Chain A
Amino acid sequence: MDPVTDDRIVPVTMPKWGLSMQAGKITGWAVAEGDEVGAGDDLADIETDKIAGTLEAPGAGTVRRIIARIGEDVPVSGTIALIAPAGVSDADLDAAAAEARAAIEAGVPDEAAGEPVVQTADVGGRTIRYTGAGQDGDVVLLVHGYGGDRNSWLFLQAPMAARYRVYALDLPGHGASSKDVGDGSVQVLADAVAGVLDAIGARRAHLAGHSLGGAVVLEAAARDPGRIASLTLIAPAGFGREINAAYLRGFAGAQTRRELKPLAGQVFADDSLVTRQVVDDLLAYKRLDGVGEALHTLLGTLLADDGTQRHDAAAAVAAIGGAVPITVIWGTADRIIPAGQAASVAGVQKVHLIDGAGHMPHMERPAEVHAAIEEAVAGAR
Chain B
Amino acid sequence: MARTITYREALNEALAQEMERDPSVIVMGEDNAGGEGAPGEQDAWGGVLGVTKGLYHRFPGRVLDTPISESAFIGAAIGAATAGMRPVAELMFVDFMGVCFDQIYNQAAKFRYMFGGKAVTPVVIRTMYGAGLRAAAQHSQCLYPLFTHIPGLKVVLPSTPYDAKGLLIQAIRDNDPVMFFEHKALYDTSGPVPEESYTLPFGEANVVREGGDVTIVTLGRMVHTSLEAAGQLAAGGVECEVLDLRTTSPLDSETVLESAENTGRVVVVDEAHPRCSIATDISALIAQQAFGALQAPIEMVTAPHTPVPFSSPLEDRYIPDAQRIANAVKAVTGWTR
User: Which residues of A does B touch, CB under 8 Å?
Assistant: 118, 129, 176, 179, 255-257, 276, 284, 287-290
Chain B residue at smallest Cβ distance from A115: B3
CB pair B1–A288 under 8 Å, yes or no, is no
Q: Which of B197, B201, B210 contacts A289 (CB 8 A)?
A: B197
CA of A118 to CA of B194, assembled, Å:
14
CB pair A284–B194 under 8 Å, yes or no, is yes
* With contact pairs A118-B1, A129-B1, A176-B1 given, residues A287 and B207 touching in the complex (Cβ less than 8 Å): no
Q: Which of A255, A256, A257, A289 contacts B196 (CB 8 A)?
A: A289
Give the chain A neighbours of B198 by CB distance below 8 A.
Answer: 284, 287-289
Give the chain B neighbours of A287 by CB distance below 8 A.
Answer: 166, 198-200
Contact with A along B165-201 (1 / 0, CB 8 A): 0100000000000000000000000000010111111
CA of A294 to CA of B288, assembled, Å:
43
* With contact pairs A176-B1, A256-B204, A287-B166 given, residues A276 and B210 touching in the complex (Cβ less than 8 Å): yes
CA of A88 to CA of B110, assembled, Å:
79
CA of A129 to CA of B82, assembled, Å:
42
Give the chain B neighbours of A289 by CB distance below 8 A.
Answer: 196-199
Cβ of B210 to closest chain A Cβ, rounded Å: 6
- Overall SS of chain B's interface: loop
CA of A207 to CA of B194, assembled, Å:
29
Cβ of B243 to closest chain A Cβ, rounded Å: 12
CA of A84 to CA of B70, assembled, Å:
75
Chain A residue at smallest Cβ distance from B207: A276
Q: Which of B166, B201, B210 contacts A256 (CB 8 A)?
A: B201
CA of A276 to CA of B259, assembled, Å:
15
User: Which residues of B does A touch, CB under 8 Å?
Assistant: 1, 162, 166, 194, 196-201, 204, 207, 210
The 8 A-B pairs with the shortest beta carbon distances in the complex, nearest first, are A176-B1, A289-B197, A288-B198, A287-B198, A288-B196, A287-B199, A276-B210, A289-B196
Give the chain A neighbours of B162 by CB distance below 8 A.
Answer: 284
Give the chain A neighbours of B199 by CB distance below 8 A.
Answer: 287, 289
Cβ of B82 to closest chain A Cβ, rounded Å: 27
Give the chain B neighbours of A179 by CB distance below 8 A.
Answer: 196
Chain A residue at smallest Cβ distance from B21: A289
CA of A176 to CA of B193, assembled, Å:
12
Give the chain B neighbours of A257 by CB distance below 8 A.
Answer: 204
Cβ of A115 to closest chain B Cβ, rounded Å: 10
Cβ of B185 to closest chain A Cβ, rounded Å: 24
Chain B residue at smallest Cβ distance from A179: B196
Cβ of B156 to closest chain A Cβ, rounded Å: 16
CA of A288 to CA of B194, assembled, Å:
9
CB pair B201–A255 under 8 Å, yes or no, is yes
11 extra A-B contacts, CB within 8 A, seeds A284-B198, A287-B199, A289-B198: A255-B201, A256-B201, A276-B210, A284-B162, A287-B200, A288-B196, A288-B197, A288-B198, A289-B196, A289-B197, A290-B196
Give the chain A neighbours of B204 by CB distance below 8 A.
Answer: 256-257
Give the chain A neighbours of B196 by CB distance below 8 A.
Answer: 179, 288-290
CA of A179 to CA of B195, assembled, Å:
13
Give the chain A neighbours of B200 by CB distance below 8 A.
Answer: 287
CA of A198 to CA of B198, assembled, Å:
31
Cβ of B325 to closest chain A Cβ, rounded Å: 21
Which of A256, A257, A287, A290 has the most CB atoms of chain B within a 10 A radius of its CB?
Answer: A287
- 26 A-B pairs (CB sep. < 8 Å): A118-B1, A129-B1, A176-B1, A179-B196, A255-B201, A256-B201, A256-B204, A257-B204, A276-B207, A276-B210, A284-B162, A284-B194, A284-B198, A287-B166, A287-B198, A287-B199, A287-B200, A288-B194, A288-B196, A288-B197, A288-B198, A289-B196, A289-B197, A289-B198, A289-B199, A290-B196
CA of A155 to CA of B196, assembled, Å:
27
CA of A176 to CA of B197, assembled, Å:
12
Give the chain B neighbours of A118 by CB distance below 8 A.
Answer: 1
CA of A287 to CA of B202, assembled, Å:
13
CA of A314 to CA of B216, assembled, Å:
56
Give the chain A neighbours of B207 by CB distance below 8 A.
Answer: 276
Cβ of A283 to closest chain B Cβ, rounded Å: 9
CA of A290 to CA of B86, assembled, Å:
21
Which of B166, B197, B198 has the most CB atoms of chain A within a 10 A radius of its CB?
Answer: B198
Give the chain A neighbours of B194 by CB distance below 8 A.
Answer: 284, 288
